[in-house]
Amino acid sequence: MFPAYGAPMSASVPLLEIRRVTKAYRPPGGAPPISVLRDASLTVTAGEAIAIVGPSGSGKSTLLNLIGALDQPDEGAVLIDGVALSTLDEAALARFRRERIGFVFQSHHLLPHCSVLENVLVPVLAGKSATDDAVEERARHLLQRVGLGDRMHQLPGRLSGGERQRAAVVRAVIQKPALLLADEPTGALDRASATEIGRLLTDLNGLEQVTLVVVTHSRELAEQLGRVHEMRDGRLVQL
Ligand SMILES: Nc1ncnc2c1ncn2[C@@H]1O[C@H](COP(=O)(O)OP(=O)(O)O)[C@@H](O)[C@H]1O
Ligand SMILES: [Mg+2]
């Protein structure tokens, strides 16, 4: 249903389009709804890297959840390759999340009892019962490229925060997603590790053409990425 990685459906269809999206949370017990997104729009072309900044509580994570099909907007639409996510059934959405989207969060969420290499292969195993040689080779290659070549058989607990986050980034791109969503990926790191993660994300964007949408508080990371949008009063404003 979706074109394969690296094969855009048409040059004129953006990879991601957020079209006038609104979203409110309705607290239980009849309290008034909390309006978070109000007419947010954004268009991202395949291969772009964009940063989303904005104050805490402004709706940045809410927006990423809508893009990643983890939640639905009240109004408006999220389109990937011109296909509105609201038109997909549960099975298609699950497949979309598994094959087309990679997620990186502030916390690495690595499984503590699996080696770094096993952690990187978890998304592959979610789709089938075994990994093949090619994907394992890709995992080893990527881990080497991010400086974890000699750590891949260790447990995540033995790694530094920056190394764990590098492993989490490799896990997010193992299946060659078209779109990598990162929610404050450097928020828990020291400055040097944060710079490394920023460089890794932009390297992946350049080498693999993975499109990046990165929520960040870091001015440095936002500048590394290029196009910056700010979440302001529930709308996205390009800076
Ligand atoms: N599941 C939820 N239920 C109720 N309110 C929520 C929920 N998720 C987020 N919110 C509220 O929505 C607003 C935006 O949250 P969020 O998208 O996490 O902001 P950001 O990521 O920019 O810090 C906040 O006021 C937050 O408390
Ligand atoms: Mg957030």
Cβ burial 38-74 (10 Å sphere, 16+ → b, else e): eebebebebbbbbbbbbeeebbbbbbbbbbbbeeebe
Ligand 1 close to Cβ of residue 58 (< 6 A): yes
pTM of the model: 0.92
Mean per-residue pLDDT of the chain: 92
Fold (CATH) for 16-238: Rossmann fold (3.40.50)
Is there a contact between 112 and 155 (Cβ–Cβ < 8 Å)? yes
* Ligand 1: nearest atom to the Cα of 56: 23
Mean pLDDT on 118-132: 84
Predicted confidence (pLDDT) per residue in 150-193, tens digit: 999 999 999 999 999 999 999 999 999 999 999 999 999 999 99
Mean pLDDT on 104-125: 94
Contacts of 81 (CB under 8 A, 6+ apart): 2, 3, 8, 9, 13, 15, 178
Q: Residue 11: is its pLDDT beyond 70?
A: no
Neighbours of 33 (CB within 10 A): 11
- Pocket perturbation via mutation, ligand 1, pick of 26, 34, 37, 65 by most ligand atoms within 8 A of CB: 34
Q: Residue 9: is its pLDDT beyond 60?
A: no
Between the CA of 224 and the centroid of ligand 1 the distance, in Å, is 26
Considering only CA atoms, give the Rg of the chain. 18
Provide the pLDDT for residue 8.
52
Mean pLDDT on 47-74: 96
**Atom 17 of ligand 1 has which residue's CA nearest to it?**
59
What percent of the chain stands above pLDDT 90?
84
pLDDT band at 12 (very low <50, low <70, confident <90, very high): confident
Mean pLDDT on 55-82: 96
Predicted confidence (pLDDT) per residue in 225-239, tens digit: 989 999 999 999 999
Predicted confidence (pLDDT) per residue in 194-221, tens digit: 999 999 999 999 999 999 999 999 999 9
Provide the pLDDT for residue 108.
87
- Pocket perturbation via mutation, ligand 1, pick of 25, 233, 236 by most ligand atoms within 8 A of CB: 25
Between the CA of 51 and the centroid of ligand 2 the distance, in Å, is 13
Which of residues 132 and 73 earns the better pLDDT score? 73
Contacts of 154 (CB under 8 A, 6+ apart): 115, 116
Tell me the C-alpha distance between 62 and 13, whole Å.
24
Provide the pLDDT for residue 1.
47
Rama region for 13: left / alpha / beta (φ>0; ψ in -120 to 50; rest): beta
